[in-house]
């Protein structure tokens, strides 16, 4: 009887799920449209059914891990997630544990991915690290002494909402100057538009971070400058982060992190420049070892393996 974990990633458009073994191998996976389920309980039932079908013979479910936006680890709930159709507080972990008769653990997606990095990625054996996702926004998971930092109510680790520039760019959170408005796939687009607007060039509506990456690869100065500025801001923010928890390493994940040297060079340079003397030269900034496509399911399943192992 082999023990397996299910990992579920709840997204605004799609929800993906899979069966993950204790070595972090995804044995099977599937997805459904989140938007087809105005009732979260029905979504849980449907996914639970599909998970049962995906489970191989002679296996048992050690538990279900769920990564979700605005996920609250302590309560197993999704709370007021702006990008999901379900309003208010949704007790999703309870729905899954009822449907699958096993333990269900829920947290936000970035924290889940941080656990994935610790159990199956580049942070194996590390006890103190910071995991940063550079997607539409900037998500983070902070690990201290081998444990995710949840804080008093489960909502620790919102590094994307550290105010970098008081009175700066307007953020979706209602404040101004948050880190994620500068260091994310959307942040770099804003930066690029600002840089090009000076040259009065016409800018296509379709510009995204991938486009900027390609332009930078072709040597376009505004695109390169956009990466440099993003790296400058992120380097400073990460240097400041070190003063809180003094990680062994910081991992960058997500589309923007895949730009390689274009982003890592300016980040590392500005990180070192802004580090307090006692930290200089001691902290690595590394690309995540999680595969972009697997990370969400693997991270969610890690919630189970972290407790079971």
Number of residues that bind its own copies (CB under 8 A): 41
Quote the least distance from Cβ 223 to its own copies, whole Å. Answer: 24
Question: Candidates 9-17, 55-63, 141-149, 222-230 — which segment interacts with its own copies by CB under 8 A?
Answer: 141-149
3-state SS, 185-207, equals HHHHHHHHHHHHHHHCCCCCCCC
Q: Which one of 92-100, 142-150, 199-207, 287-295 is the stretch in contact with its own copies (CB under 8 A)?
A: 142-150
Select the residue interacting with its own copies from 16, 29, 111, 161 (CB under 8 A): 161
By CB under 8 A, is residue 159 in contact with its own copies? Answer: yes
Q: How far is the CB of 75 from its own copies (least distance, A)?
A: 13
**End-to-end C-alpha distance for the chain, whole angstroms:** 16
Instruction: Map the footprint of its own copies across residues 169-188, applying CB under 8 A.
Output: 173-175
User: Whose Cβ is closer to its own copies: residue 7's or residue 160's?
Assistant: 160
Question: Does residue 282 interact with its own copies by CB under 8 A?
Answer: yes
Binding to its own copies by CB under 8 A, coded x per residue (else -) over 74-113, reads ----------------------------------------
Stretch that binds its own copies, among 1-9, 22-30, 95-103, 149-157 (CB under 8 A): 149-157
Q: Is 124 in the site for its own copies (CB under 8 A)?
A: no
Q: Which lies closer to its own copies via its Cβ, residue 37 or residue 229?
A: 229
* CA dist list (Å): 225 to 217, 238, 261: 12, 20, 13
156 binds its own copies (CB under 8 A): yes
The answer to whether 74 and 150 are in contact (CB under 8 A) is yes
Burial letters 175-185, b for 16+ CB under 10 A, else e = eebbbbbbbbb
Q: Is 236 in the site for its own copies (CB under 8 A)?
A: yes
Structure-token pair, residue 230: 């993003």
30 burial via Cβ count (<10 Å: 0-12, 13-18, 19+): middle
Binding site for its own copies (CB under 8 A): 127-128, 142, 144-145, 147, 149-159, 161-163, 166, 173-175, 236, 239-241, 243-248, 274, 276-279, 282-283
């Amino acid at each position: 009887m082999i023990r397996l974990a299910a990992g579920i990633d709840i997204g605004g458009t799609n929800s993906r799920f899979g069966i993950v073994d204790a070595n972090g191998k995804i044995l099977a996976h599937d997805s459904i449209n989140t938007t087809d389920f105005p009732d979260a309980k029905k979504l849980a039932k449907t996914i639970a059914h599909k998970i049962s079908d995906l489970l191989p013979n002679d296996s048992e479910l050690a538990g279900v891990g769920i990564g979700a936006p605005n996920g609250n680890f302590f309560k197993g709930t999704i709370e007021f997630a702006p990008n999901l159709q379900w309003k208010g507080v949704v007790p999703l972990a309870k729905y899954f544990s009822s449907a699958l008769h096993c333990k269900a653990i829920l947290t936000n997606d970035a924290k889940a991915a941080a656990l994935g990095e610790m159990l199956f990625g580049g942070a194996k054996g590390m006890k103190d690290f910071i995991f940063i996702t550079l997607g539409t926004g900037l998500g983070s998971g902070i690990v201290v002494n081998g444990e995710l930092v949840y804080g008093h109510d489960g909502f620790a680790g919102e590094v994307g909402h550290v105010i970098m520039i008081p009175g700066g760019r307007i953020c979706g959170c209602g404040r101004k100057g948050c880190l994620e408005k500068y260091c994310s796939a959307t942040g770099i687009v804003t930066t690029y538009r600002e840089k090009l607007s000076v040259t009065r060039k016409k800018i296509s509506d379709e510009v995204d971070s991938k486009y900027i990456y390609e332009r930078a690869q072709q040597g376009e100065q505004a695109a390169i400058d956009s990466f440099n500025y993003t790296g400058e801001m992120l380097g400073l923010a990460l240097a400041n982060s070190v003063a809180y928890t003094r990680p062994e390493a910081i991992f960058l994940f997500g589309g923007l992190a895949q730009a390689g040297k274009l982003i890592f060079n300016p980040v590392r340079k500005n990180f070192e420049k802004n580090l307090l003397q006692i930290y200089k030269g001691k902290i690595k900034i590394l690309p995540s070892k999680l595969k972009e496509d697997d990370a969400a399911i693997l991270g969610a399943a890690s919630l189970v393996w972290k407790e079971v192992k």
